[in-house]
Amino acid sequence: MGRRVFLVVPATIFALTALADAAGTPDRYCLQSSQSDYPGNCQFNSYFQCMNAASGKDAQCRENPKYEFARKRSALKH
């Protein structure tokens, strides 16, 4: 019984994360590495999708700067 719960919990978290990320913006996240220009490859609509592409590489995922800066500007206006 304990082993079944051990497998179900991560699978549930994975599924919920994938569903939440599926509705993202087409260019919301950028894959960045030392070999790419700034801001990197910004074709990912979810952090999860970007992290899958980064897997096994010397790369990281960041929010696309155009969304990050827009959010900061919006916060300053309020």
Given a contact cutoff of 8 angstroms between Cβ atoms, the answer to whether 1 and 8 are in contact is: no
Task: Give the side-chain half-sphere CA count within 13 A for 28.
Answer: 14
Q: Based on the structure, what is the number of domains in the chain? A: 1
Tens place of pLDDT for every residue, the chain, 78 residues? Answer: 555 555 555 655 554 444 444 456 789 999 999 888 899 999 999 999 999 999 999 999 999 999 888 777 777 776
The reported pTM is 0.59
Beta-bridge partners for 32: 60
**What is the domain extent for residue 60?**
2-77
Find tokens 């096994």 and name the residue. Answer: 56
Q: Could you tell me which of 31, 24, 30, 68 has the C-alpha nearest to residue 46?
A: 24
